[in-house]
Amino acid sequence: MTVGPVSELATDAPNARLIGGHSVLLSYRNSSWWAIANICPHRGEVLSDGLVQGDCVTCPGHFWRFSLTDGVKQGDERVRVATYPVRVVDDVIEVEVPDPEPAQSLREILLAHARAEDTHD
Ligand code: FES
């Protein structure tokens, strides 16, 4: 999806954008643009509200640190935020995000919960 002209994005600070229904943190590092999910997988804090140092952003919630380039949590490679391919076409940034998941109805949520309860015998 098209984000906009490169000139509208900061190269010295993270850029928070809503792209195709996804909250995305765009940053310029090592002469390239990178995009990661902007929501912490721990408890959902907004990563762009955190502190950026080097190639990492520190979550403002509980200070987990994530790479701005590959989304990996520092010190625990099993934890990561999603990353999205970025390309620049004629000075316009494009980020490839998956289609957002359709919202579940209350009925679907309750049925899924009830089915999960059935498996706890
Ligand atoms: S919410 Fe991000 S570290 Fe806890």
Residue 20 pLDDT greater than 60, yes or no? yes
41 pocket-lining for ligand 1 (C-beta < 6 Å)? no
Contact 109, 31 (CB under 8 A): no
In the chain, the domains with their CATH numbers are 2-118 (2.102.10.10)
Secondary structure tally for the chain: helices H, strands E:
1, 12
87 pocket-lining for ligand 1 (C-beta < 6 Å)? no
For 8-97, where are the alpha helices, taking DSSP H only?
none
Tell me, in angstroms, the distance from the centre of ligand 1 to residue 56's CA: 14
pLDDT, one tens digit per residue, over 63-94 is 999 999 999 999 999 999 999 999 999 999 99
Which atom of ligand 1 is found nearest the CA of 59?
2
pTM score? 0.83
Q: What are the C-alpha distances in Å from 94 to residues 9, 70, 91, 104?
A: 12, 18, 10, 29
Three-class SS state of 46: strand
